[in-house]
Amino acid sequence: MKKFIDWDIEINGRWLDAAHSFGYHLFKQMRADRIAALPIQLSNSEREVAIKAIDDTIYTFMMMFDGIYKFDIDNDHSAEYALIQRIRDNNDDVVSEIELAPDGDELTIGFHGWKENDFGE
């Protein structure tokens, strides 16, 4: 993952750097934590099924944020869910804010690369 100081200043490149940092945190912290919590007594095939379930859940949430699903509230209203990244400095001040989804460049595209440890370095 790139250091924030090295992020692209052009908006599309900056969005991509932000998306890669999201993917890094999602996979290196959250996904890895869930995989590490799997019981050690699982067989290899059971472990593969459990990891696939983790990955499928992550991917489905990313599809939700990308706006692939329509969520009706009633006949006249629907809900859209947004994923916003805020970068804060050491003083806890927001120094950058980017909407990653649904107005980004489709997080689901990054999923497969992130799964293979490609975080845009």
Q: How far apart are CA 79 and CA 14, in angstroms?
A: 27
The yes-or-no verdict on residue 1 having pLDDT over 90 is no
The yes-or-no verdict on residue 37 having pLDDT over 80 is yes
Contacts of 105 (CB under 8 A, 6+ apart): 12, 15, 16, 19
Computed over every residue of the chain, the mean pLDDT equals 93
Query: How much is the pLDDT for 105?
Result: 64
Whether pTM > 0.85 for this model: the answer is yes
Q: What is the pLDDT of residues 60-93, one digit of tens each?
A: 999 999 988 889 999 999 999 999 999 999 999 9
The yes-or-no verdict on residue 104 having pLDDT over 80 is no
21-25, 55-59, 68-72: which range is least confident on average? 68-72
Query: How much is the pLDDT for 49?
Result: 98
42-46, 55-59, 106-110: which range is least confident on average? 106-110
Query: How much is the pLDDT for 121?
Result: 78
Nearest partner of 21 among 48, 2, 8, 6, judged by Cα: 2
